[in-house]
Amino acid sequence: MTDTASSSHDPAAVARRLVDTFGRGWARQDAELLLSVFSDDAVFREGPFGQALEGLAAIRGYWADTSYHQSEGTFSSGEIFTVGPWFSVEFKSVFRRRRTGEWVDVRGALFCELEDEKISEMRMYWHRWTRGREVDNSV
């Protein structure tokens, strides 16, 4: 693996740009905008025990399905922490479920690896609430 992002630019600034773009894509239910932050052979894990989705086609399938079920989203993130080519950040996403109309509050953390100013691996750990109650992690 190369560490191009760290050597040519401030890794925290690169990470901030990527997280903000990812968040705009999620909030707008725009899978293509969201996918623009990933390298072609990126790996995405929705949770610590979830199956790894490898490559843009697999990641696209996940987010296209997610976007189909969500509307009226917002996304915010906290301070970026970087070490070499890795970064982490806490996030909050709020959206309305299209089918039921109920509001969902998702909070979690992203753990990512950078390669050539793109995300080559993302692990997303999160928990979801509706109307103040914990719910399962199904869409």
Tokens of 78: 């906290």
Q: Is residue 80 part of a domain?
A: yes
Q: Is residue 17 part of a domain?
A: yes
Q: Is the pLDDT of residue 27 over 80?
A: yes
Q: How many domains does the chain have?
A: 1
Inter-residue contact 121 to 112 (CB < 8 Å):
yes
Q: Which residues, other chains included, contact 88 with Cβ-Cβ below 8 Å and sequence gap of 6+?
A: 80, 81, 109, 110, 111, 112
Instruction: Give residue 81's domain range.
Output: 4-134
pLDDT in tens, 4-24: 434 457 999 999 999 999 999
Residue 120 maps to which CATH number? 3.10.450.50
- pTM metric for this prediction: 0.84
Of the segments 2-11, 52-61, 65-74, 125-134, which one has the largest average pLDDT value? 52-61
pLDDT in tens, 79-123: 999 999 999 999 999 999 988 889 999 999 999 999 999 999 999
Strand partners, 133: 130
Q: How far apart are CA 75 and CA 80, in angstroms?
A: 15
Give the model's pLDDT for residue 6: 41
